[in-house]
Amino acid sequence: MKYCILLQRISAKPMGMAFEGPVKRPGELVPDDLFGAYRVVIECAGSEKPSRGHNRQPVVYILWVWNPAREDWEERARSASTGWEWTWDLRAPAVRALNPHPEFYDALERGRSLAGELFDAAMLKLEGEQKDVRLSAWNALYEQAIAQLTQCAR
């Protein structure tokens, strides 16, 4: 093994940068609190044959998921490539491994509920502040919200 990623989340970032979590080298101890709700690891196993220069050999990447019932790691997916193509092969199985029991939900209803909670928290935080401070805070929050909307729309 060359290294492994203790997968905590998968972002919209391109290629291998989408797989987020601590990177560990062979032999490093891993405390339980570094894992999320599910233990998911992407291992860079290296290439099967050493190579040099332009004759690069594919590097093997393996997606492992901890099975608590068997107290053992299960291989869920494997990919070998000389470039970043492995990220396409492992992305969907990794998403399923991190969220094995997806729930149906109403995004509009959930979003409005969260917005209400955020608004209530902001109102509570601004309580007792001077009018000009409240105005400045709401203006800054508005600008940050617009920036987030722009980011999410991409």
Last residue of a domain, one of 98, 125, 143: 98
- Residues near 149 by beta carbon (within 8 Å), at least 6 away in sequence: none
Q: Are residues 30 and 78 in the same domain?
A: yes
Domain housing 49:
3-98
Provide the token pair at 59: 């590097």
88 lies in the same domain as 48: yes
d(CA 151, CA 154): 6
**Which H helix or E strand runs over 134?**
helix 131-153
Cα–chain-centroid distance for residue 127? 35
| Domains of the chain: total | 2
pTM: 0.62
Same domain, 75 and 117: no
Which residue, 98, 119, 143, sits at the end of a domain? 98
| pLDDT per residue as tens digits for the range 64-74 | 998 888 888 99
% of the chain at pLDDT higher than 90 = 41
* pLDDT tens, position by position, 9-33: 888 776 777 898 889 998 888 777 7
Q: Domain check: are 70 and 141 in the same one? A: no
Say if residue 42's pLDDT is above 70. yes
Of the two residues 16 and 117, the one the predictor is more confident about is: 117
